[in-house]
């Protein structure tokens, strides 16, 4: 890395204040690069990944500017959009409050319309209670001078619910917070500490009427309220944000997998041992060996040392069994994020042409991927950290701190439970449309077509054991298995829901609550269908573009599918579901595991090239253990130079406390010396 300001290897030694100042420096450099090279807005996100950690620029580019693009009308875009794209103003997205996050419709910040404010009417913005304080918006604490504010629109006493506003929070020149606006950073977090997540309390602030974004909703000077198009687009920023979050999940996991696989290839532990259990000792040892071992205890007899050198940790099947499925998942999530991005771009063109048929599809797609990918990403990164052994617990190993910084992605902009309820309801709707209305498809949700093609009345017979070995290598069978299992979950959950409705005599929130666990399982099952579909699509493209690469990724694809079918990536599901769905025979787990073991062996020679193929630079991995050149132990030793405790040989703690712990008499001697010392003489008045 030639630019020292983009180095990240000293981040782990910094205080919170130093970390934020460094984020500001990196933000300045990022904007300088964008301006000097005229980098288009849509090409900036990959560059932001190279910053090494999230900072205020991310919220500006992922939430603030896209909201202006999609929700501001043409005149409003003329006021603010170009300034936002050029970073002449810095904005964020202020929606979450102390007591309301996922339930957007429950936010309490108010925007009351007053016709006599300004020349054209205006809004009286107020935080009515402590519970309504905006809390968590990234960049709001110290960096941004404006935001998209979500507040409840109230006109002549009527509440129209949350709407977006352009809202200035700091002076354009001095950066001081404006009158009536109290801004704070909310404090240190487990990770993500380059970001100044903020709190905002608003006390009776007035803004012009046209500061409400009016592409899809218009409020006239007389207070007349009317919709233009689909008002669901008011929450379109959340769809885009969830897309961006899920698109980065595979890459975050890939960083952890890269460091872990490289380190596992360098690290050597134990010899490849030949295990000899007690009863078999006589069969494996010759007479000389028996005599040599006769004096040793039974425990030492269990393992016969090999003459070979210590083995690479990556050669152990137990290590492969943990890491390689995470490698497969990283590719699956990455490909899914890319394909979802293409679908969103196509849908956005329709939205801008006032065609909203793709809204439901985009909501289901981005919500599913955001909900599942972020949870699996976080779990996978922690699995990787644990696979790095004791050294993996060091900040310098990189994976732990990166895991903590990525961890909030599983929560913000909709956590798994909340999003799974929304996704699950759409899946239930699809089942209902098929079973109760006889529909064979829904063009508004093409990703759910496999539900309409499923016949729950048709008996599902599992393959015979003799057929299973070959089927586990058949991609069509693997994809069909994931869909059949998902449909089994969907249709049985729908049946459970109908039974609850019949039992309670009505359909309501309480009825839905009885199947929320099922909705969570449905969301996982649907996500695996999406991952496999998108992975297979990319594999098909590669078979033409790069057959050699495709031949290796084919193994990775199979391992992904079989991992879902064996123990799965989430807490539930796995083999039992596939047996219940009639996809696998009840006695087929041995064959399944045997195929997985073979795939681990086949992938092993390609493991390091596969992670190198991500082309993640060392400065971005920020891991002494995951270096491309393999200089693991030298780098680990050198990294301790950054530790502030190593600035001196004898620490301040010794002089203040440890010496008295070791030599308690010194404290007594110092006290005695202080008592014996003559008191300082007083200076006579008038003398210097």
Catalytic residues: 413
Contacts by 114-122 with C-beta closer than 8 Å and gap 24+? 114/206, 115/221, 115/222, 115/223, 117/206, 117/208, 117/209, 118/206, 118/208, 118/209, 120/208, 120/209, 120/210, 120/221, 121/208, 121/209, 121/219, 121/221, 121/223, 122/206, 122/207, 122/208, 122/209
Q: Which residues contact 568 (CB under 8 A, 6 or more apart)?
A: 524, 574
What Å distances lie between residue 182 and 37, 111, 170, CA to CA? 37, 17, 10
Strand partners, 268: 312
For residues 291 and 638, give the distance between their C-alpha atoms in angstroms, rounded to a whole number.
Answer: 48
367 and 425 Cβ atoms separated by less than 8 Å: no
**204: nearest Cα among 142, 145, 152, 127:** 127
What string of H, E and C letters represents the secondary structure of 369-428?
HHHHHHHHHHHHHHHHHHHCCHHHHCHHHCHHHHHHHHHHHHCCCCCHHHHHHHHHHHHH
104 phi and psi, to 5 degrees? -60, -35
Tell me: is residue 96 an annotated ligand-binding position. yes
Selection from 600, 635, 23 nearest residue 318 by Cα: 600
Distance between alpha carbon 55 and the CA centroid of its chain, in Å?
A: 15
Q: Are 176 and 183 in contact (CB under 8 A)?
A: no
Q: Two tokens at 571?
A: 């807490």
Q: Are 236 and 352 in contact (CB under 8 A)?
A: no
- Where do runs of H (alpha helix) occur along 267-316? 281-284, 287-293, 298-301
Known binding residue 445? Answer is no
Extract the annotated binding site. Answer: 96, 138
Residue stretches of the annotated binding site for FAD: 96, 138
């Amino acid at each position: 890395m030639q630019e020292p300001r983009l180095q990240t290897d000293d981040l782990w030694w910094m205080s919170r204040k130093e970390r934020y100042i460094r984020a500001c420096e990196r933000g300045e450099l990022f904007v300088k690069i964008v301006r000097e090279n005229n980098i288009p807005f849509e090409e900036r996100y990959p560059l932001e990944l190279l910053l090494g950690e999230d900072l205020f620029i991310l919220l500006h580019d992922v939430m603030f500017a896209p909201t202006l693009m999609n929700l501001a009308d043409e005149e409003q875009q003329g006021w603010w959009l170009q300034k936002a794209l050029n970073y002449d103003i810095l904005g964020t997205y202020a929606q979450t409050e102390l007591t309301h996050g996922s339930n957007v419709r429950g936010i309490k910040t108010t925007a009351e319309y007053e016709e006599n404010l300004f020349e054209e009417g205006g809004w009286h913005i107020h935080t009515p209670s402590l519970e309504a304080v905006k809390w968590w918006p990234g960049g709001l604490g110290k960096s941004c001078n404006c935001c998209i504010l979500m507040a409840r629109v109230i006109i002549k006493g009527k509440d129209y619910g949350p709407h977006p506003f352009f809202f200035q929070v700091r002076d354009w020149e001095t950066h001081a917070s404006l009158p009536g606006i109290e801004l704070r950073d909310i404090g240190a977090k487990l990770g993500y500490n380059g970001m100044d997540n903020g709190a905002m309390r608003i006390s009776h602030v007035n803004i012009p009427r046209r500061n409400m974004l009016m592409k899809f909703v218009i409020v006239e000077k007389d207070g007349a309220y009317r919709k233009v198009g689909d008002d669901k687009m008011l929450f379109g920023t959340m769809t885009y944000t969830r897309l961006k979050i899920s698109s980065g999940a595979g890459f975050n996991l890939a960083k952890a997998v890269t460091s872990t696989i490289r380190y596992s290839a360098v690290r050597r532990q134990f010899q490849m041992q030949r295990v000899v259990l007690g009863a078999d000792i006589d069969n494996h040892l010759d007479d000389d060996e028996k005599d040599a071992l006769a004096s040793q205890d039974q425990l030492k007899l269990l393992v016969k040392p090999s003459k070979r050198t210590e083995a690479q940790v990556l050669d152990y099947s137990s290590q492969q069994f943990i890491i390689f499925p995470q490698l497969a998942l990283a590719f699956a999530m990455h490909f899914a994020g890319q394909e979802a991005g293409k679908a969103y771009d196509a849908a956005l063109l329709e939205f801008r042409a006032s065609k909203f048929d793709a809204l439901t599809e985009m909501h289901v797609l981005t919500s599913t991927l955001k909900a599942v990918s972020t949870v699996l990403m976080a779990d996978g990164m922690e699995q990787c950290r644990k696979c790095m052994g004791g050294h993996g617990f060091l900040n310098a190993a990189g994976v732990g701190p990166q895991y903590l910084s990525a961890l909030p992605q599983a929560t913000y902009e909709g956590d798994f439970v909340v999003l799974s309820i929304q996704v699950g309801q759409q899946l239930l709707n699809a089942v209902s449309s098929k079973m109760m209305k006889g529909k064979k498809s829904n063009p508004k949700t093409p990703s759910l077509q496999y539900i309409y093609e499923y016949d729950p009345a048709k008996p599902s017979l599992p393959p015979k054991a003799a057929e299973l070995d070959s089927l586990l290598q058949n991609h069509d069978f693997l994809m069909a298995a994931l869909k059949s299992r998902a449909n089994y979950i969907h249709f049985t959950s729908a049946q459970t829901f109908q039974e609850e409705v019949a039992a309670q005599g009505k359909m309501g929130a309480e009825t839905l609550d009885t199947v929320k666990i099922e909705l969570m399982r449905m969301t996982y099952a649907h996500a695996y269908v999406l991952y496999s579909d998108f992975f297979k699509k990319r594999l098909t493209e590669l078979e033409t573009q790069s057959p050699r690469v495709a031949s290796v990724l084919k193994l990775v694809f199979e391992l992904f599918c079989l991992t879902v079918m064996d123990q799965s990536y989430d807490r539930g599901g796995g083999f039992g579901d596939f047996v219940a769905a009639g996809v696998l025979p009840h006695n087929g787990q041995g064959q399944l595991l045997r195929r997985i073991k073979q795939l681990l062996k086949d992938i092993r020679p390609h493991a390091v090239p596969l992670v190198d193929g991500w082309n993640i630079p060392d400065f971005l991995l920020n891991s002494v253990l995951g270096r491309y050149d393999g200089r693991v132990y030298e780098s680990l030793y050198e990294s301790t130079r950054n530790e502030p405790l190593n600035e001196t040989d004898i620490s301040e703690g010794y002089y203040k406390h440890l010496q008295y712990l070791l030599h308690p008499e010194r404290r007594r001697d110092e006290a005695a010396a202080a008592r014996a010392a003559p008191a300082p003489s007083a200076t006579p008045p008038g003398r210097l």
